[in-house]
Chain A
Protein backbone atom coordinates (compact mmCIF):
# COMPACT_ATOMS: atom_id res chain seq x y z
CA UNK A 1 0.00 0.00 0.00
CA UNK A 2 1.20 3.46 -0.86
CA UNK A 3 1.43 6.36 1.49
CA UNK A 4 0.50 10.00 0.96
CA UNK A 5 2.13 12.68 3.06
CA UNK A 6 1.50 16.38 3.35
CA UNK A 7 4.56 18.54 3.89
CA UNK A 8 5.33 22.20 3.44
CA UNK A 9 8.96 23.23 3.70
CA UNK A 10 8.64 26.97 3.06
CA UNK A 11 11.45 26.77 0.57
CA UNK A 12 13.90 25.10 2.92
CA UNK A 13 15.52 22.76 0.42
CA UNK A 14 17.86 20.93 2.78
CA UNK A 15 15.05 19.99 5.17
CA UNK A 16 13.04 18.62 2.27
CA UNK A 17 15.98 16.58 0.97
CA UNK A 18 16.68 15.19 4.43
CA UNK A 19 13.07 14.16 4.94
CA UNK A 20 12.76 12.39 1.55
CA UNK A 21 16.03 10.53 2.19
CA UNK A 22 14.84 9.47 5.64
CA UNK A 23 11.64 8.12 4.11
CA UNK A 24 13.72 6.11 1.61
CA UNK A 25 15.99 4.83 4.38
CA UNK A 26 12.84 3.60 6.14
CA UNK A 27 11.59 1.78 3.05
CA UNK A 28 9.47 4.41 1.34
CA UNK A 29 10.28 5.35 -2.26
CA UNK A 30 9.00 8.67 -3.57
CA UNK A 31 6.88 8.00 -6.66
CA UNK A 32 4.79 11.12 -7.19
CA UNK A 33 4.65 14.74 -6.13
CA UNK A 34 1.89 17.31 -6.32
CA UNK A 35 1.78 20.85 -5.00
CA UNK A 36 1.25 19.85 -1.38
CA UNK A 37 1.62 16.08 -1.28
CA UNK A 38 4.32 13.48 -1.61
CA UNK A 39 3.31 9.93 -2.53
CA UNK A 40 5.42 6.96 -1.52
CA UNK A 41 5.49 3.26 -2.27
CA UNK A 42 7.19 0.57 -0.20
CA UNK A 43 10.76 -0.31 -1.24
CA UNK A 44 13.79 -2.08 0.13
CA UNK A 45 15.02 0.28 2.91
CA UNK A 46 17.97 2.36 1.74
CA UNK A 47 17.78 1.35 -1.92
CA UNK A 48 17.23 4.90 -3.19
CA UNK A 49 18.92 8.23 -2.60
CA UNK A 50 17.60 11.69 -3.39
CA UNK A 51 18.93 15.13 -4.14
CA UNK A 52 16.75 18.21 -4.18
CA UNK A 53 17.84 20.60 -6.91
CA UNK A 54 16.66 24.22 -7.15
CA UNK A 55 15.86 25.18 -10.76
CA UNK A 56 13.51 28.10 -10.13
CA UNK A 57 15.84 30.58 -11.78
CA UNK A 58 15.76 28.69 -15.09
CA UNK A 59 13.26 29.09 -17.90
CA UNK A 60 10.84 26.22 -18.40
CA UNK A 61 12.57 25.10 -21.61
CA UNK A 62 15.88 24.94 -19.80
CA UNK A 63 14.37 22.93 -16.95
CA UNK A 64 12.98 20.40 -19.45
CA UNK A 65 16.36 20.21 -21.14
CA UNK A 66 18.09 19.63 -17.79
CA UNK A 67 15.50 17.01 -16.86
CA UNK A 68 16.13 15.15 -20.13
CA UNK A 69 19.85 15.32 -19.50
CA UNK A 70 19.46 13.84 -16.01
CA UNK A 71 17.20 11.08 -17.34
CA UNK A 72 19.86 10.34 -19.97
CA UNK A 73 22.34 9.80 -17.14
CA UNK A 74 20.01 7.19 -15.68
CA UNK A 75 18.39 9.21 -12.91
CA UNK A 76 14.69 9.36 -12.26
CA UNK A 77 13.50 12.94 -11.96
CA UNK A 78 10.42 14.29 -10.18
CA UNK A 79 9.31 17.90 -10.24
CA UNK A 80 8.16 19.86 -7.24
CA UNK A 81 6.98 23.36 -6.59
CA UNK A 82 8.34 25.79 -4.07
CA UNK A 83 5.02 27.44 -3.19
CA UNK A 84 6.63 30.86 -3.03
CA UNK A 85 5.04 32.37 -6.14
CA UNK A 86 2.85 35.35 -6.73
CA UNK A 87 -0.03 34.80 -9.10
CA UNK A 88 -1.98 37.33 -11.12
CA UNK A 89 -4.71 35.35 -12.81
CA UNK A 90 -3.05 33.07 -15.33
CA UNK A 91 0.28 34.82 -15.14
CA UNK A 92 2.60 33.83 -12.40
CA UNK A 93 5.51 35.94 -11.33
CA UNK A 94 8.56 34.23 -9.95
CA UNK A 95 10.55 37.20 -8.74
CA UNK A 96 13.60 35.03 -8.23
CA UNK A 97 13.84 33.82 -11.82
CA UNK A 98 16.31 35.14 -14.36
CA UNK A 99 15.22 36.45 -17.76
CA UNK A 100 12.27 34.55 -19.15
CA UNK A 101 12.35 32.37 -16.06
CA UNK A 102 10.66 35.24 -14.20
CA UNK A 103 7.27 35.11 -15.81
CA UNK A 104 5.46 31.82 -16.06
CA UNK A 105 2.41 31.72 -18.30
CA UNK A 106 2.38 28.23 -19.80
CA UNK A 107 0.64 25.69 -17.58
CA UNK A 108 3.71 23.46 -17.92
CA UNK A 109 5.82 26.04 -16.19
CA UNK A 110 3.72 26.23 -13.05
CA UNK A 111 5.01 24.58 -9.95
CA UNK A 112 8.33 23.49 -11.35
CA UNK A 113 10.97 25.12 -9.21
CA UNK A 114 12.51 22.00 -7.78
CA UNK A 115 13.79 18.79 -9.31
CA UNK A 116 13.95 15.79 -7.04
CA UNK A 117 16.62 13.50 -8.45
CA UNK A 118 16.47 9.82 -7.56
CA UNK A 119 19.39 7.45 -7.78
CA UNK A 120 19.43 3.75 -7.03
CA UNK A 121 21.94 3.32 -4.21
CA UNK A 122 25.12 1.73 -5.57
CA UNK A 123 27.74 2.65 -3.00
CA UNK A 124 29.05 5.52 -5.18
CA UNK A 125 28.80 9.09 -3.95
CA UNK A 126 25.93 11.12 -5.33
CA UNK A 127 26.80 14.78 -5.74
CA UNK A 128 25.00 16.93 -8.29
CA UNK A 129 27.60 19.71 -8.16
CA UNK A 130 31.20 18.63 -8.07
CA UNK A 131 33.43 21.66 -8.46
CA UNK A 132 33.76 24.93 -6.56
CA UNK A 133 32.78 27.22 -9.43
CA UNK A 134 29.60 25.28 -9.98
CA UNK A 135 28.78 24.96 -6.26
CA UNK A 136 29.21 28.72 -5.83
CA UNK A 137 27.00 29.51 -8.83
CA UNK A 138 24.35 27.05 -7.63
CA UNK A 139 24.16 28.38 -4.08
CA UNK A 140 24.21 31.96 -5.38
CA UNK A 141 21.11 31.18 -7.46
CA UNK A 142 19.31 29.92 -4.33
CA UNK A 143 20.47 32.86 -2.23
CA UNK A 144 19.39 35.22 -5.03
CA UNK A 145 15.85 33.88 -4.72
CA UNK A 146 15.76 34.59 -0.98
CA UNK A 147 17.28 38.05 -1.44
CA UNK A 148 14.63 38.92 -4.02
CA UNK A 149 11.84 37.71 -1.74
CA UNK A 150 13.35 39.62 1.17
CA UNK A 151 13.44 42.84 -0.87
CA UNK A 152 9.77 42.41 -1.65
CA UNK A 153 8.86 41.96 2.02
CA UNK A 154 10.97 44.98 2.92
CA UNK A 155 9.18 46.97 0.20
CA UNK A 156 5.82 46.01 1.75
CA UNK A 157 7.14 47.18 5.10
CA UNK A 158 8.29 50.49 3.63
CA UNK A 159 4.95 51.08 1.90
CA UNK A 160 3.13 50.44 5.15
CA UNK A 161 5.48 52.53 7.25
CA UNK A 162 5.96 55.50 4.95
CA UNK A 163 2.67 55.67 3.06
CA UNK A 164 0.29 53.61 5.19
CA UNK A 165 -0.42 51.41 2.17
CA UNK A 166 -1.29 47.77 2.74
CA UNK A 167 -2.73 45.93 5.70
CA UNK A 168 -0.24 43.18 6.45
CA UNK A 169 0.52 43.37 10.19
CA UNK A 170 4.04 44.41 11.13
CA UNK A 171 4.53 41.22 13.13
CA UNK A 172 3.85 39.10 10.04
CA UNK A 173 6.32 41.17 8.03
CA UNK A 174 8.91 40.91 10.80
CA UNK A 175 8.55 37.13 10.97
CA UNK A 176 8.88 36.91 7.18
CA UNK A 177 12.04 39.00 7.25
CA UNK A 178 13.64 36.81 9.91
CA UNK A 179 12.62 33.60 8.12
CA UNK A 180 14.17 34.90 4.90
CA UNK A 181 17.33 36.15 6.58
CA UNK A 182 18.15 32.72 8.02
CA UNK A 183 18.70 30.98 4.65
CA UNK A 184 20.46 34.07 3.26
CA UNK A 185 23.02 33.92 6.07
CA UNK A 186 23.42 30.14 5.82
CA UNK A 187 23.90 30.15 2.05
CA UNK A 188 26.27 33.14 2.27
CA UNK A 189 28.46 31.17 4.67
CA UNK A 190 28.47 28.20 2.37
CA UNK A 191 29.36 30.41 -0.62
CA UNK A 192 32.26 32.10 1.17
CA UNK A 193 33.64 28.73 2.32
CA UNK A 194 33.73 27.52 -1.27
CA UNK A 195 35.20 30.84 -2.44
CA UNK A 196 38.03 30.43 0.06
CA UNK A 197 38.67 26.88 -1.12
CA UNK A 198 38.63 28.05 -4.73
CA UNK A 199 41.49 30.45 -4.07
CA UNK A 200 43.94 27.56 -3.97
CA UNK A 201 42.13 24.59 -5.43
CA UNK A 202 39.81 23.69 -8.21
Chain B
Protein backbone atom coordinates (compact mmCIF):
# COMPACT_ATOMS: atom_id res chain seq x y z
CA UNK B 1 0.00 0.00 0.00
CA UNK B 2 1.37 3.35 -0.97
CA UNK B 3 0.52 6.17 1.39
CA UNK B 4 -0.36 9.72 0.45
CA UNK B 5 3.04 10.98 1.48
CA UNK B 6 4.77 8.90 -1.19
CA UNK B 7 2.75 10.79 -3.81
CA UNK B 8 3.51 14.18 -2.31
CA UNK B 9 7.19 13.45 -2.52
CA UNK B 10 6.98 12.33 -6.13
CA UNK B 11 7.85 8.77 -5.22
CA UNK B 12 11.26 9.58 -3.73
CA UNK B 13 12.44 7.04 -1.21
CA UNK B 14 13.95 8.25 2.03
CA UNK B 15 17.64 7.55 2.39
CA UNK B 16 16.90 5.19 5.28
CA UNK B 17 14.51 3.16 3.10
CA UNK B 18 16.92 2.99 0.18
CA UNK B 19 19.88 1.96 2.33
CA UNK B 20 17.91 -0.76 4.12
CA UNK B 21 16.69 -2.13 0.76
CA UNK B 22 20.25 -2.15 -0.60
CA UNK B 23 21.50 -3.94 2.51
CA UNK B 24 18.93 -6.68 1.88
CA UNK B 25 19.96 -7.65 -1.65
CA UNK B 26 21.62 -10.39 0.38
CA UNK B 27 19.74 -11.97 3.28
CA UNK B 28 20.62 -10.14 6.45
CA UNK B 29 19.47 -9.54 10.00
CA UNK B 30 19.14 -6.21 11.78
CA UNK B 31 22.73 -6.11 12.95
CA UNK B 32 23.98 -6.90 9.44
CA UNK B 33 21.87 -4.11 7.93
CA UNK B 34 23.20 -1.68 10.52
CA UNK B 35 26.80 -2.69 9.78
CA UNK B 36 26.22 -2.48 6.01
CA UNK B 37 24.91 1.08 6.27
CA UNK B 38 27.81 2.31 8.42
CA UNK B 39 30.39 0.58 6.23
CA UNK B 40 29.01 1.54 2.82
CA UNK B 41 28.40 5.19 3.72
CA UNK B 42 31.80 5.51 5.36
CA UNK B 43 30.13 6.25 8.68
CA UNK B 44 28.10 9.18 7.30
CA UNK B 45 24.84 7.40 8.09
CA UNK B 46 24.36 5.47 11.29
CA UNK B 47 20.81 4.23 11.76
CA UNK B 48 19.42 4.34 15.28
CA UNK B 49 18.12 1.01 16.53
CA UNK B 50 14.54 2.28 16.80
CA UNK B 51 14.65 3.88 13.37
CA UNK B 52 16.02 0.68 11.84
CA UNK B 53 13.37 -1.41 13.58
CA UNK B 54 10.63 0.89 12.29
CA UNK B 55 12.05 0.82 8.75
CA UNK B 56 12.28 -2.98 8.64
CA UNK B 57 8.78 -3.32 10.09
CA UNK B 58 7.34 -0.85 7.60
CA UNK B 59 9.10 -2.34 4.55
CA UNK B 60 8.06 -5.81 5.60
CA UNK B 61 4.44 -4.66 5.82
CA UNK B 62 4.69 -3.11 2.34
CA UNK B 63 6.15 -6.44 1.12
CA UNK B 64 9.28 -4.73 -0.20
CA UNK B 65 11.26 -7.09 2.00
CA UNK B 66 10.29 -10.41 3.53
CA UNK B 67 11.46 -12.40 6.53
CA UNK B 68 13.25 -15.63 5.69
CA UNK B 69 11.61 -18.81 6.87
CA UNK B 70 13.69 -19.70 9.86
CA UNK B 71 14.00 -23.04 11.56
CA UNK B 72 12.72 -22.61 15.07
CA UNK B 73 12.95 -19.61 17.29
CA UNK B 74 15.75 -17.17 16.79
CA UNK B 75 16.24 -13.68 18.14
CA UNK B 76 17.93 -12.62 14.95
CA UNK B 77 15.29 -12.58 12.24
CA UNK B 78 16.71 -12.50 8.71
CA UNK B 79 15.15 -10.53 5.87
CA UNK B 80 15.66 -10.32 2.13
CA UNK B 81 14.45 -7.91 -0.58
CA UNK B 82 11.44 -8.95 -2.72
CA UNK B 83 10.85 -8.40 -6.46
CA UNK B 84 8.62 -5.46 -5.55
CA UNK B 85 11.43 -4.04 -3.42
CA UNK B 86 13.93 -4.40 -6.28
CA UNK B 87 11.49 -2.57 -8.55
CA UNK B 88 11.34 0.27 -6.02
CA UNK B 89 15.14 0.48 -5.90
CA UNK B 90 15.32 0.55 -9.71
CA UNK B 91 12.71 3.32 -9.91
CA UNK B 92 14.63 5.28 -7.31
CA UNK B 93 17.88 4.77 -9.18
CA UNK B 94 16.48 6.28 -12.38
CA UNK B 95 14.91 9.13 -10.43
CA UNK B 96 18.23 9.84 -8.71
CA UNK B 97 20.05 9.73 -12.05
CA UNK B 98 17.65 12.35 -13.44
CA UNK B 99 18.20 14.56 -10.41
CA UNK B 100 21.97 14.16 -10.57
CA UNK B 101 21.96 14.99 -14.26
CA UNK B 102 19.83 18.11 -13.70
CA UNK B 103 21.94 19.27 -10.76
CA UNK B 104 25.22 18.69 -12.60
CA UNK B 105 23.95 20.49 -15.70
CA UNK B 106 22.62 23.48 -13.72
CA UNK B 107 25.82 23.86 -11.71
CA UNK B 108 28.00 23.54 -14.81
CA UNK B 109 25.95 26.05 -16.87
CA UNK B 110 26.29 28.63 -14.13
CA UNK B 111 29.94 28.06 -13.37
CA UNK B 112 31.22 30.75 -15.71
CA UNK B 113 28.25 33.02 -15.27
Contact = CB atoms under 8 A, between A and B. Distances in A.
A128 B75 contact: no
A129 interface: yes
Contacts of A74: 31
A137 interface: yes
Nearest to A68: B75
Interface string A18-47: 000000000000000000000000000000
A131 B50 contact: no
Contacts of B30: 69, 72-73
Contacts of A71: 75
A128 B47 CA distance: 8
Given A127-B48, A129-B48, A69 B53 contact: yes
Given A72-B76, A137-B54, A131 B49 contact: no
Nearest to A74: B31
A: interface residue count bin: 20 to 34
Given A134-B54, A137-B54, A75 B49 contact: yes
Given A66-B53, A70-B49, 9 more contacts: A70-B53, A71-B75, A127-B46, A128-B50, A129-B51, A130-B16, A130-B51, A131-B14, A134-B48
Interface in B51-70: 51-54, 56
Contacts of A138: 50
Contacts of B76: 72
Given A71-B75, A202-B15, A128 B46 contact: no
B31 A134 contact: no
Given A74-B31, A202-B15, A130 B75 contact: no
A72 B14 contact: no
Contacts of B54: 134, 137
A79 to B, nearest CB: 15
13 contacts: A70-B49, A72-B29, A73-B30, A73-B34, A73-B49, A75-B49, A127-B46, A127-B48, A130-B46, A130-B47, A134-B48, A134-B54, A137-B54
